[in-house]
Structure 1
């Protein structure tokens, strides 16, 4: 599959995103990388090809031990397994402050713009297996590319959408939605309706008529 090449506009947008991440998440210095052959290290994907556009991933910032491997061309971000949960663990609202249901959640956080025109299955930058696409939080509308062994990839802007979803109470609403779906799957099928009185009378009348004809011809 031919990968799209970055444009000047996309490079400028990605540079702004990378700089914003560096300004917001400067808790620890970014370790310097030596020049040389691009490889995938044991603790991250920096130096690997971006699943979104094929350009190299670089460490953009570190926060609470979470390394953000960003693409300078398309603005995508790679997070190792478990790092998104660590990065967003403190974003849930206090009890009673979050949305009560999906309708209220949509009022607080509009559904992300559809990216279905760009749907394609991408490769994990570490193992090169095709990643799964999943709806973050079941109902967020943010479709992330995930390798269950190594981590996940977020397109430009999706990290901000995930954070807004969680701040509005989306995690609890999504869990409630999954619980309802599981309960529906476990419910037994409804019983077949009992025949109506008219159907029973019709069946009896038909049976009586057959008995009369049988007796006339064979009795």
Structure 2
């Protein structure tokens, strides 16, 4: 039974086609295409307002040189929210529960921020490896620690997103299974468990959006250090 719970995190294949590829393409078809008209429909207006508010909040503390990343980070957050929300629908698959795919998002963007800092301000970028005023005997140890913490950042980004979504989906399946099993034995307890499941589903919707925001927010903080 325990193995069946984790089957939901395996990449499904149908007719030899990995469905993760379709799941990655689907969100782009759900968003309305901006038009050149003066007045748009409510969905497009809401989408434009959300993008503007998010971009303004994210890039206000960042220097002008980092504003070129606005399109990339805004698109990435919208894409991650869509993938996370997609997994909450019945008979669907959540691509962001795969650590390999999350690392594919995290590593290139993190590496780009590091290379940007080394190219534009190499002294400041290397200065992050050694805090100012460090005693001389501690310099080698602190450089090693800061270097490890620098290279652990993309791993933390990918593991955080994977662990939160995997834990939430697994908990939902456990509670749903418990409610189904308890229904003929203890209906009152089954109904209470169903209410808990409903509240947990609402929480998972919030987690799906918050984790995408945290992912992009941390990348913007790394970018802020290097521009």
Same fold (TM over 0.5): no
TM-score by length of 1: 0.22
Computing the radius of gyration over CA atoms, which structure comes out larger, 1 or 2?
1
Which structure carries more relative contact order (alpha carbon 8 Å, separation 6+)? 2
Identify, as 1 or 2, the structure richer in strand: 1
Identify, as 1 or 2, the structure richer in helix: 2
